[in-house]
Amino acid sequence: MKEHIEKDLGINSLCFGCGEENPIGAKLSFYKLSDKSVGSSFLVPKTWGGWGKIVHGGLQTVLMDEVSGWTVITLLEEACLTIKVDLQFFKPLYVEEEVEIIGEIAEHKEKDILVKSYIKNKDGQICTQGHFTFRKVTKKKIEQIAGIKISS
């Protein structure tokens, strides 16, 4: 099941991960895969290279962090901030190839939410895996520290 997720939070059209108005951003869109997982497909631009045609690890982290965050926002309806990231790079990903990024709720604690995230290459192989810990925060706290107003 790939149910499209509406991403209009009314806060940041310039977000590097999902903002539609960011000229250099990923402009990710999202789809619900299950009650515990969210995905996104992305054609990696050639400007995202590190060593030659290998996708830069930091930009892979951006993709997984964004999908993981939207997993929490949409499936648990929680406002959150990333507080910890643990990554493993198994195989290289290449620019100018389409990848799939998936986030799955692994654990939901009182204050923290753990999301397991991974990127699959064009052949469906898991190349990069991450564990992202998010801290639940109030919308008021996000407005305060980010200098934004979240629509209700």
Higher pLDDT among residues 40 and 19, named by residue: 40
Largest CA distance in the chain: 44
Quote the tokens at residue 119. 């990127």
Binned at pLDDT 50, 70 and 90, residue 83 comes out as very high
Whether this prediction's pTM lies above 0.85 is answered by: yes
Tell me the CATH number at 137.
Answer: 3.10.129.10
Region 34-52 average pLDDT: 96
The token pair at 25 is: 């951003």
Q: What is the DSSP string of 7-32?
A: ---SS-TT-TTT-TT-TTS----EEE
Average pLDDT over residues 41-51: 96
Q: Is residue 80 part of a domain?
A: yes
What is the Cα gyration radius of the chain? 15
Q: Which of 28-32, 48-52, 139-143 bottoms out in mean pLDDT, i.e. has the lowest? A: 139-143
Gap between the Cα atoms of 103 and 64, Å rounded: 7
Read off the pLDDT of each residue in 86-104 and give the average, rounded to a whole number. Answer: 98
Token duo for residue 111: 């204050």
8-state DSSP, 142: H
pLDDT score recorded for residue 30: 95
Reply yes or no on whether the pLDDT at 21 is more than 80.
Answer: yes
152 part of a folded domain: no
Q: Among the residues of 7-138, which ranges form H helices?
A: 57-71
Residue 90 lies in a domain: yes
The mean per-residue pLDDT over the stretch 31-49 comes to 96
**What is residue 14's predicted lDDT score, i.e. its pLDDT?**
80
Residue 151 maps to a domain: no
User: Does residue 26 lie in a domain region?
Assistant: yes
Total domains present in the chain: 1
Please give the residue range of the domain that contains residue 80. 3-146
Instruction: Give per-residue pLDDT as tens, 119-151.
Output: 999 999 999 999 999 999 998 888 898 888 776
